[in-house]
Amino acid sequence: MATPEWLLGPSNQTGRTRFGELPLFREGLYNTADACYAWMVPNGTWGETNIGLIDCGGQSVMIDTCWDLNFTRELTSSCSELLRASPVEFIINTHADGDHCWGNQLFADKPIIATNACLQGMHHYSPNSLRAMALSGRVLSRLPLGSIRLFGHYMSSMFAPYDFSDVCITEPNDTFSGEKVLTVNGVDIVIQEIGPGHTDGDALVWVPERRIVYAGDILFIGATPVMWAGPVENITRALKNLLTMKPDVIVPGHGYFATLNDVQNLVDYWEFLQTELSSRANAGMSSFDAACSIVSSPDFQQSIFSRWDSPERIVTNARTIYREWKIDEPDLPGKLAALNLFRQQAMLAFQLSDASPYVMRHLSEDIK
């Protein structure tokens, strides 16, 4: 595997991550392989999204944008010298989660490429709805209402580093299904549809000549993956395909550059989770109770999975797998179901004394 070289970072680095954690790696732009770059954000949890940049000799291709305009502008400002010589002329969105596409509007006059399914999911959440959730969370976190209070704190902390006030969702204007090859000044960039999985519209970006993959959110490194859509088989198939490709550099959607061993760890996570859920589902446990039971089990505690950020995401993963297995569970209608999942994740996070980010499960003294 190639060794990426750190080149530069934002001018206002504080020595902490956006959530106040000690960074596991240095934030900023890395030179990865033959004019391919990655903007890496520690430690890879909520909205700490990695961005790809491919210099094609006078034109650049950016892979994903940030969750808000401030962080997208910080990236482009920090990389201004590189982008003056090779301006961004194409955007690729690996999927429709806001932390990978809500900076699109700064490139609205450029081709923005994504899968058709990604386009269909672009408005699943709106900036205004997340602003409302953050505000409601701050209010709820001050109420003595048990799990509702914890849910409020969890949600307000998740969104605290970000400002969605000026975000206008800008849709992809060049969509495809299956596979698309974008050729820029002789550089072939292969965009492969691999969803549904993490979301309905996942894609990864492969530059065969330079042997680098930008994997989007099928890869979380050092952080627990999350599966909103499923089926899990599509994620594991894509991960196993990555293992056979043996790229020199793998840029995950979140976390530090991946090794092939990291990819195998994620295959193992999904296979472990299915095995553990199966026995508990057969015993009649709900997906939430099953998730809590797995996290507290010796097998999980002794595994690498227990050391990943945001282990409480197992709640969403369990619910998605139950849905795939057609196990009916009582649920709330529409987007209330997603909010209820976050409430359950908050309940579990507060039970995990070593879980990170710390701020997500710690009520500050002034609201205890």
pLDDT surpassing 50 at residue 188: yes
| Mean per-residue pLDDT, 171-197 | 98
Q: Is the whole model's pTM more than 0.75, yes or no?
A: yes
Q: What is the mean pLDDT of the chain?
A: 94
pLDDT digits (tens, 9 = 90+) for 62-72: 999 999 999 99
pLDDT for residue 283: 97
pLDDT digits (tens, 9 = 90+) for 319-330: 999 999 999 998
User: If pLDDT is split at 50, 70 and 90, which confidence band does 360 have?
Assistant: confident
pLDDT surpassing 70 at residue 145: no
pLDDT surpassing 80 at residue 238: yes
- What is the CB neighbour count within 10 angstroms for residue 246? 10
pLDDT surpassing 60 at residue 215: yes
User: If pLDDT is split at 50, 70 and 90, which confidence band does 298 have?
Assistant: very high
| Pairing label, strands 174-176, 112-115 | parallel
Which residues 6+ apart lie within 8 Å of 351 measured at CB? 292
pLDDT surpassing 90 at residue 232: yes
Share of the chain above pLDDT 70, in %: 97
* Three-state secondary structure readout of 259-270: CHHHHHHHHHHH
Distance separating alpha carbons of residues 337 and 147, to the nearest angstrom: 16
pLDDT for residue 143: 74
pLDDT surpassing 70 at residue 210: yes
| Mean per-residue pLDDT, 334-355 | 89
334 or 264, higher pLDDT = 264
| Pairing label, strands 203-207, 88-92 | unpaired
Ramachandran bin of 301, using left for φ above 0, alpha for ψ from -120 to 50, beta for the remaining angles: alpha
pLDDT for residue 2: 67
pLDDT digits (tens, 9 = 90+) for 8-55: 999 877 889 999 999 999 999 999 989 999 999 999 999 999 999 999
Distance separating alpha carbons of residues 93 and 96, to the nearest angstrom: 7
